[in-house]
Chain A
Amino acid sequence: MNLYEQQASNRRKTWLIMSAFVLFLLFIGAGFDAVYIGRAGGFVPAGSLLALGVGGASAFASYYGGDRAVLAATHAAPLDELAPAAGDADRLKLQQLKNVVDEMAIAAGIPPPRVYVVPDPDPNAFATGRGPGRASIAVTRGLLDALDRDELQGVIAHEMSHIRNLDVRLMTIVAALVGAAALLSEWARRGMMSGGGLPSSRRRGERDRSGGGAAALIFFVVWTIAIAVAPFVVQALAMMVSRKREYLADASGAELTRNPLGLARALEKIESAVAPTEAINRGSAHLCIADPLGRRVNLAEGFWSDLFASHPPMPARIAALKAMAFQGRTA
């Protein structure tokens, strides 16, 4: 797939995933309506409306304000403000970062994103924003200190590909909807515990007469199970999308630099420092070059570790990049 097909596919996927989430939110809301509002004799589908409202509001908020929220949460400082106050050696490092970002923006053919530095000693980097022209790239202090120019270029190319391929947009929306689903199922579970009981327990006579008793019971059971497993299923789905985008960003980043080994070496250095990146919280993991939690899952391979990892296993990513370099040499 070339760049434009890549972008089109991401746009399609964004819509598909959003529709699936809307249906899911409606299902949770409808169940709530059937069980609680319907039982109380109300006609307004308050549950469905609430579910849609929460999902829509969180998607909207993260689409338009997500980048600012993430940057503020990580205490990222804009490069332009850091540079004048820096010492000589440090200023050279910062200038190098700015140059590398500009180089990659030229290679990708998009406007240069804003550059931020996160005060954290663990090497990591992330991209955020709505898309080309309204994007930001942030790197940690640890990354700047640990990598040389070629390696830094590889990491920036990876983040630039996330921006260019509209991955950031896709993953921001997905993350917001995952949050909304988790929130709603939590509410529903609490409501069930306090409001308690099967829907047919109190108005059994009336329901039986209308012939909907069995159907309502089945719906209730399915709904309950759905709510119980929803957070996990949704999280696993989101992580599956995330891992696919990571491989693609590695590949298209290498296409930009024409030097896969730069990123491969950078990943090796990042991997050797598996300490968690404390400044970056769980919610932004999918935006980073490496899982900021420093979980061992990302180093292991296998079904279970794969299911909930936001990034593919490091050895697999490094092997894929080295294979690209090898093919480049023989071609």
Chain B
Amino acid sequence: MIVIVLVAVAAILAIWIVGSYNRLVGLRNQVMNGWRQIDVQLKRRHDLIPNLVSSVRGAMDFERDTLTAVMEARAKAIAATGPADAAQKEGQLTQALGRLIAVAESYPALKSNENVRALMEELTATENKVGFARQFYNDIATKYNTAQQVFPTNLFAATFGFKTAELFEITTDAERDAPVVDLSRK
């Protein structure tokens, strides 16, 4: 009798562990996929910036500092490794871009240029996509971390090699204060 009960308890335990393990694997894959999404959008942003800089350079020749700051921030962001580092470097890039857009707004020749407007729309879209991809990644990463930390899953999560996912967070105060640029006005 006792043997049967023990076997039953062991079987239930095994099923439960397998279930939890599979759930964690599923979440880990979603987190990795979420990170790839951010990565894709960041690359798009990096590719877009040289085009934008070269198309506004003519009209903004004496704003060389602003343009150089953007190109430097871009170079640093490309070299970043891991979510935390990337978050910081990308934050600085966002800030530099915000300044560039704000300055460009004051040039009527740029605002009426179709080519520049199309590039600005692309930049806005890419900024938004980075933001939304980050929102999605942080949501799913938080869910993954919570699933590992709750009792009793926390008893074996580390044993099977599950690690806490790094959040893509805004780390510098400067980025929180970054100028909000509204390009939607018609």
Contact = CB atoms under 8 A, between A and B. Distances in A.
Nearest to B37: A106
B184 A150 contact: yes
Contacts of A103: 125, 128-129, 132
B129 A92 contact: no
Contacts of A106: 37, 41, 129, 132-133, 136
A79 to B, nearest CB: 14
Contact of A99 (B34, B37, B121, B133): B121
A150 B135 CA distance: 18
A96 B129 CA distance: 13
A107 B41 CA distance: 12
A109 interface: yes
Contacts of A89: 114
Interface string B138-152: 001000000000000
Interface string A86-119: 0011011001100110111011110000000000
B118 interface: yes
B129 A109 contact: no
Interface residues of A, number: 20
A211 to B, nearest CB: 56
B88 interface: no
Nearest to A151: B184
Contacts of B128: 99, 103
B117 interface: yes
A237 B121 CA distance: 44
B64 interface: no
Contacts of B186: 148
A108 B132 CA distance: 9
B78 interface: no
Interface string B6-45: 0000000000000000000000000000100100010000
A95 B133 CA distance: 20
Interface in B152-186: 183-186
Main secondary structure of the interface of A (DSSP, over half): helix
A149 B114 CA distance: 17
Interface in A100-144: 100, 102-104, 106-109
Given A88-B114, A107-B132, A148 B125 contact: no
Contacts of A96: 121, 125
B185 A148 contact: yes
A92 B184 contact: no
B183 A149 contact: yes
Most buried by A among B34, B129, B132, B133: B132
A106 B184 CA distance: 20
Most buried by B among A89, A102, A107, A108: A107
Nearest to B120: A92
B136 A109 contact: yes
Contacts of B41: 106
B66 interface: no
Nearest to B140: A109
Given A95-B122, A99-B128, 19 more contacts: A88-B114, A92-B117, A92-B121, A95-B121, A96-B121, A96-B125, A99-B122, A99-B124, A102-B125, A103-B125, A103-B129, A106-B132, A106-B136, A107-B135, A107-B136, A108-B136, A109-B140, A148-B185, A149-B183
17 contacts: A89-B114, A92-B117, A95-B121, A96-B121, A96-B125, A99-B121, A99-B122, A102-B125, A102-B129, A103-B128, A106-B37, A106-B129, A106-B133, A148-B184, A149-B124, A149-B184, A150-B184
Q: Rank and list the top 8 A-B pairs by shortest CB-CB distance, nearest first.
A: A149-B184, A99-B125, A107-B132, A106-B132, A103-B128, A148-B184, A88-B114, A109-B136
Interface of B: 34, 37, 41, 114, 117-118, 121-122, 124-125, 128-129, 132-133, 135-136, 140, 183-186
